[in-house]
């Protein structure tokens, strides 16, 4: 283990280096400097900025454009497309394109680029799920048809989130040097430090007033230090930092579809391993009474009030308050006595009086792992473990790197984060066909009734027709993926996103933001402007 004093020295040095780096890009008072916008909002992508490999699905792709997009009210509107139509059987989607779009290198965007993008994404090894796509037929330079294997109520989301790449400029180095038709183009990327982008001179949409942006990639403490030093115009901060007052800045709070919850291995450990040799299952968390008792004993409002400083709300599912959420699936109103009763009835008793219950010689004990780089998740994990102690369940809290979590996530409880404007996320996280697939369904949850409801939702002809099926998958009165049903997850909190914004900058009204990958705050960036 690293010496704590040495670790602290490294952190202080890191903050110092970041401030010096930013100072080199700014004037003494950057809030008065409008030549360059300087932001520190996270979002550096390890995989680079290639939509065919998943970039942009959680936020604005910035460098690329999409066929459709959401407006500030989250309604679906045209972007590269001028119109789209769906056949009565739901299998053929006809899309007509604008004919005035050019990529940032000046080359025109045509249907050929759209066909190339979707086919490339389809072959991305699951990073973009286009299994429903049978083929694409080009009908001219600015018209094409998508042919689906079966009707899909969520296919429209792919038209909203998949940025179009140029066939002529797409290759192995594209993710580090993206060319697109979005409002900005990448100029320079020093990985782990900063990225510089400038206005795309060929952008067909509303011209951004801000012509140059520097993205600083910093740890949370460094962002706060940069704000206090007046060296950046916009900084994303964790909720516990947002209670501060910083002269020259206003706090900008954005509602989020961004939840945190504990994933529990759903199956027992029988010695089975993944194809990569990682252990599957946990003999404690596979007991539904353990999961149900934890769901009851966690005081979610207390987590919001203390750890999020009030910037959030209790979480009950993966899609709270979205149109496909089922409020009837929530397990609320029960008490500590109810949790204790469930455990006692199931045979979990503290016979040796050590504070930890056991059953058939098995201790009610498991590891609860969080990403060590995330202070909010650390606090949530520690607080949740403390609450579990009250009913004799011992969660051993450990911080790990994401590389380590990848090897542990099928056999240990993990504090994960999700949240999307797309109901497909519920399908990916809970459907049995995704057991052990990447970061999806890492606990190997399976319920055939739930699978059937979600399959029916996915194959509905329209989004509206799919909604009842998504709700029934959560709870149909007998079973479901929710807390009233199988409880494969115990959801904790929904985060509001908090930013400090320079008083010299107007970023307008932000949209409800999904889980914090990418740059969702920049969704309306063409409307950002300097105050006069």
Per-residue pLDDT, 26: 45
Single pTM value for the model: 0.80
Q: What is the pLDDT of residues 96-136, one digit of tens each?
A: 999 999 999 999 999 999 999 999 999 987 678 898 999 99
Residue 31 has pLDDT above 70, yes or no: no
Q: Is 7 a residue whose pLDDT tops 50?
A: no
Is the per-residue pLDDT at 39 higher than 90? Answer: yes
**pLDDT tens-place string over residues 485-514:** 999 999 999 999 999 999 999 999 898 888
Among 528, 523, 531, 512, smallest CA distance to 253 is for 512
Residue 207 has pLDDT above 60, yes or no: yes
What's the residue count for the chain? 532
Q: Does residue 273 carry a pLDDT above 60?
A: yes
Say if CB 63 and CB 103 are below 8 A apart.
no
Range in 177-181, 208-212, 254-258, 314-318 with the lowest mean pLDDT: 254-258
Topology (CATH level 3) of domain 257-495: Dipeptide-binding Protein; domain 3 (3.10.105)
| CB contact set of 282 (below 8 Å; sequence gap of 6+) | 264, 265, 268, 269, 366, 411, 412, 413
Lowest mean pLDDT among 56-70, 141-155, 332-346: 56-70
CB 237 within 8 A of CB 220: yes
Alpha-carbon distances, residue 510 vs 45, 48, 180, 507, 513 (angstroms): 22, 25, 24, 8, 8
Helices (H), 329-430: 336-345, 375-389, 402-408, 424-430
Q: What percent of the chain has pLDDT over 90?
A: 80
Q: Does domain 4-45+182-255 have CATH number 3.40.190?
A: yes
Both tokens of 463, joined, read 């989004």
Average pLDDT rounded to a whole number, residues 67-84: 90
Q: What is the pLDDT of residues 221-271, one digit of tens each?
A: 999 999 999 999 999 998 989 999 999 999 999 988 899 999 999 999 999
Annotated domain spans of the chain: 4-45+182-255, 64-177, 257-495
Mean pLDDT of the 180-200 span:
96
Give Cβ neighbours of residue 475 (< 8 Å, ≥ 6 apart).
Answer: 326, 328, 329, 482, 484, 485
In this predicted structure, the answer to whether residue 525 has a pLDDT above a threshold of 50 is yes
- Calculate what percentage of the chain has a pLDDT beyond 70: 93
Domain spanning 64-177: which CATH class is it, in words?
alpha beta
């Amino acid at each position: 283990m690293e010496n704590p004093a040495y670790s602290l020295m490294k952190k202080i040095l890191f903050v110092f280096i970041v401030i010096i780096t930013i100072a080199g890009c700014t004037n003494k008072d950057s809030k008065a400097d409008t030549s360059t916008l300087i932001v520190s909002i996270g979002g550096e992508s390890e995989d680079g900025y290639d939509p065919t490999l998943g970039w942009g699905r959680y936020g604005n792709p910035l460098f690329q454009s999409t066929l459709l997009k959401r407006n500030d009210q989250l309604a679906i509107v045209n972007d590269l497309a001028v119109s789209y139509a769906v056949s009565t059987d739901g299998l053929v989607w006809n899309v007509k394109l604008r004919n005035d779009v050019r990529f940032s290198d000046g080359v025109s965007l045509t249907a050929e680029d759209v066909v190339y993008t979707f086919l490339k994404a389809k072959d991305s090894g699951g990073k973009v799920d286009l299994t429903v796509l049978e083929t694409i037929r080009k009908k001219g330079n600015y018209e094409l048809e998508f042919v689906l294997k079966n009707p899909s109520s969520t296919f429209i989301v792919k038209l909203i989130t998949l940025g179009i790449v140029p066939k002529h400029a797409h290759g192995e180095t594209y993710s580090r040097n993206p060319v697109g038709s979005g409002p900005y183009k990448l100029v320079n990327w020093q990985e782990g430090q900063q990225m510089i982008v400038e206005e795309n001179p060929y952008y067909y949409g509303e011209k951004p007033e801000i012509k140059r942006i520097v993205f600083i990639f910093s740890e949370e403490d460094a962002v706060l230090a940069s704000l206090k030093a007046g060296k950046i115009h916009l900084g994303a901060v964790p909720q516990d930092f947002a209670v501060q007052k910083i002269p020259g800045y206003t706090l900008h709070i954005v509602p989020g579809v961004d939840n945190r919850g504990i994933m529990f291995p759903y199956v027992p450990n029988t010695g089975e391993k993944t194809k990569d040799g990682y252990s599957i299952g946990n003999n404690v968390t596979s007991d539904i009474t353990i999961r149900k008792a934890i769901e009851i004993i966690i005081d979610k409002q207390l987590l919001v009030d203390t750890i999020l400083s009030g910037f959030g709300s209790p979480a009950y599912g993966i899609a709270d308050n979205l149109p496909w959420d089922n409020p009837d699936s929530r397990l609320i109103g029960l008490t500590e006595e109810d949790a204790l009763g469930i455990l006692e009835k199931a045979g979990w008793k503290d016979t040796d009086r050590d504070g930890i219950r056991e059953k058939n010689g098995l201790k009610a004990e498991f590891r609860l792992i969080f990403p060590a780089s995330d202070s909010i998740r650390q606090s949530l994990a520690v607080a949740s473990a403390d609450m579990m102690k009250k009913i004799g369940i011992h969660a051993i809290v450990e911080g790990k790197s994401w590389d380590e979590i990848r090897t542990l996530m099928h056999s240990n409880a993990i504090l994960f984060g999700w949240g999307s404007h797309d109901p497909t996320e519920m399908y990916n996280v809970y459907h049995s066909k995704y057991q052990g697939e990447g970061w999806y369904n890492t606990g190997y949850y399976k319920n055939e009734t739930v699978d059937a409801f979600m399959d029916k939702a996915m194959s509905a002809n329209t989004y509206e027709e799919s909604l009842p099926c998504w709700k029934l998958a959560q709870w149909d009165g007998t079973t479901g993926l929710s807390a009233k049903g199988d409880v494969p997850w115990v959801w904790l909190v929904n985060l509001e996103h908090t930013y400090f914004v320079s008083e010299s900058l107007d970023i307008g009204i932000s949209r409800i933001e999904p889980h914090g990958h990418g740059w969702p705050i920049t969704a309306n960036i063409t409307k950002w402007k300097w105050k006069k």
